[in-house]
């Protein structure tokens, strides 16, 4: 598994361009970038990507987008393509977040198309999977995760050396303050890594980073990041404060 964790701050629909600029300057004052030891990415909303990219220029912090359209271009009013995101400097794109699936009707087929679009543009998808609380209670976690992964990665080929990021985000843990236990998360991470091994071989499975997401805070981040098999965290609410997100990044050693 990776020795270089990936920490991602998903701002969701927060931060105007000027707020993003202010955030980045405060965040950078915490000297969180440590080339070689960890990757840190911020995922602003589309409208603030450019401002964030400008303020991050010259730093080690990477840019991520929260969503993409699956086509390269076309008559899709209100949509943004992966090509546009790559040109603006995004290295990662979050795909299939449970809010996209649950609130915007994003299907596994769409998730699959988006994963393909992101890879074609040379970026890394952060593919989100996760079970509902009812699935967990019914003992269906493995089944749900397996199905989401298989459908999202159907017919997706990876070039030699290309890897993925997968975020395990139990839906019941997102924005609720009820995080999964690191020991439970690691069980699911093992399932995910095995699926990646079957689909792409050992090298890609080991090089791919499997993140945990769902109510990660500065006080519990260390308990996830210190567990072998958890290669990083995807942070929502606690990434909105630059001091708290910096503390989470500092926990990644």
Residues 4-63 that bind ligand PGA (CB under 6 A): 10
99, 106, 131, 169: the catalytic one is 169
97, 99, 106, 195: the catalytic one is 97
Q: Site for ligand PGA (CB under 6 A): which residue of 131, 169, 195, 231?
A: 169
Tokens of residue 139, six digits: 């003992």
30 is an active site residue: no
x/- contact string, 210-239, with ligand PGA (CB under 6 A)? ---xxxx-----------------xxxxx-
Residue pointed to by tokens 């080339």: 35
- If the CB atoms of residues 106 and 200 are measured against ligand PGA, the closer one turns out to be 106
Q: Site for ligand PGA (CB under 6 A): which residue of 31, 87, 143, 175?
A: 175
Nearest in space to 123 (alpha carbons), one of 90, 79, 87, 167: 90
- If the CB atoms of residues 23 and 200 are measured against ligand PGA, the closer one turns out to be 23
State how far the Cα of 69 lies from the Cα of 201, in Å rounded to an integer: 28
Total number of residues binding ligand PGA (CB under 6 A)?
13
97 is an active site residue: yes
CB atoms within 10 A of CB 135: 18
State how far the Cα of 185 lies from the Cα of 166, in Å rounded to an integer: 13
- Residue 43, classed as helix, strand or coil, is strand
Q: How far apart are the first and last CA of the chain?
A: 15
Which residues make up the interface to ligand PGA (CB under 6 A)? 10, 169, 174-175, 213-216, 234-238
């Amino acid at each position: 598994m990776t020795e270089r964790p990936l920490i991602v701050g998903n701002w969701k629909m927060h931060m105007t361009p000027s707020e993003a600029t202010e955030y980045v300057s405060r965040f950078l004052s915490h000297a969180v970038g440590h080339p070689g030891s960890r990757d840190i990415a911020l995922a602003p909303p589309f409208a603030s990507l450019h401002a964030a990219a400008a303020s991050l220029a010259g730093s080690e912090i990477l840019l991520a987008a929260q969503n993409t359209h699956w086509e390269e271009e076309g008559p899709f009013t209100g949509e943004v393509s992966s090509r546009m995101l790559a040109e603006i400097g995004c290295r990662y794109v979050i795909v299939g977040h449970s809010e996209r699936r649950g609130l915007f009707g994003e299907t596994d087929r769409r998730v699959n198309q988006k994963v393909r679009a992101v890879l074609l543009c040379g970026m890394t998808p952060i593919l989100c999977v996760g079970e509902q609380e009812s699935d967990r209670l019914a003992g269906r976690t493995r089944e749900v995760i397996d199905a989401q992964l298989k459908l999202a990665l159907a017919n997706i080929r990876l070039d030699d050396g290309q890897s993925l990021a997968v975020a395990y985000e139990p839906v019941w843990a997102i924005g609720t303050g009820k995080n999964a236990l690191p020991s439970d998360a690691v069980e699911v991470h093992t399932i995910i890594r095995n699926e990646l091994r079957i689909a792409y071989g050992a090298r890609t499975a080991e090089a791919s980073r499997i993140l945990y997401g769902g109510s990660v805070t500065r006080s519990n981040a260390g308990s996830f990041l210190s567990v072998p098999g958890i290669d990083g965290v995807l942070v929502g609410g606690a990434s909105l404060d630059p001091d708290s997100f910096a503390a989470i990044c500092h926990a990644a050693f």
